[in-house]
Amino acid sequence: MPVLDPYSFECLSHSEEQTQRLGARLGVLLPAHAIVALIGTLGAGKTQFARGIGAGWGAQQPLRSPSFTLVQEHRRDRDQRVLYHIDLFRIENRDGLQSFGLQEILEDENSVSIIEWADRAPDLLADEALLVKFELTSESKRHMTYSTRSASTWQILLAFRKSAFGV
C-alpha cells in the first residue's frame, strides 16, 4: 500500500495559462539537483506545467512535449546549468529504464530534472523528489496535488505556495 506523503497541499488550476504560471513560480525556486516528478493521464497538463518550470528556471528554449525522445536537455545562460525534461510514456519496463540511463541523469547534482509519467519509475524517485499529481476535473480545470517525503523539499514547496497563493 502506498504511504501517503507527509507533506502535501492541493490547488485548482482553471486554465492552461494558469498551469504554466504555476510552473514558472516553481521553476524560479528550484535548486540544483531538484527532481520534479509529474504524474497524471494524457492531457492532464504535465507538459504545460513543465513548460512553465522551464521558463521560470531560465531555459534558453521553450520546453515541448518530449514523448518521442525520452529526454531533452535544456540550458540557461546564467550558469550554463542543465535541465533535463524526461518523458517515460514510452517506457514499458525496467530494461527500458536502465538502457536510457535515467538513474545517472537523476544522480547529476548540478542538474534539475522534470519527469513526466514519473510513476513509471517509482524505484528511481528519491525521497527528495517533488511530486505533482494532476487530475482532470473538467475540460479546463485541473486539480493538482503537490507533495514530497523530504523536509528540505517541503521548504521549497512552502516557498512556492507563498509565492503562488500568498499563504
Q: Which residue has the cell 537523476?
A: 106
Under the criterion CB under 6 A, does residue 13 sit at the interface with ligand ADP? yes
Under the criterion CB under 5 A, does residue 85 sit at the interface with Mg ion? no
Q: How far apart are CA 103 and CA 123, in angstroms?
A: 10
Residue 139 C-beta: closest distance to ligand ADP, Å: 6
Q: Residue 130's Cα: distance from chain center in Å?
A: 7
Question: In this structure, what C-alpha cell is assigned to residue 135?
Answer: 487530475
Question: In this structure, what C-alpha cell is assigned to residue 87?
Answer: 518523458
148 binds, among Mg ion, ligand ADP, none (CB under 5 to 8 A by kind): none
With contact defined as beta carbons under 8 Å apart, do 112 and 33 qualify?
yes
Q: How far apart are CA 31 and CA 71, in angstroms?
A: 20
Under the criterion CB under 5 A, does residue 20 sit at the interface with Mg ion? no
Question: In this structure, what C-alpha cell is assigned to residue 92?
Answer: 514499458
Residue type present at position 164: A
- Ranked by CB distance to ligand ADP, the top (closest) residue is 45
23 binds, among ligand ADP, Mg ion, none (CB under 5 to 8 A by kind): none
Q: Binder to Mg ion among 47, 111, 148, 153 (CB under 5 A)? A: 47
Under the criterion CB under 6 A, does residue 72 sit at the interface with ligand ADP? no
Under the criterion CB under 5 A, does residue 46 sit at the interface with Mg ion? yes
> Considering only residues 17-46, where is the footprint of ligand ADP by CB under 6 A?
19, 40, 42-46
Q: Binder to ligand ADP among 65, 145, 150, 163 (CB under 6 A)? A: 65
Nearer to ligand ADP by C-beta: 113 or 154? Answer: 113
With contact defined as beta carbons under 8 Å apart, do 166 and 150 qualify?
no
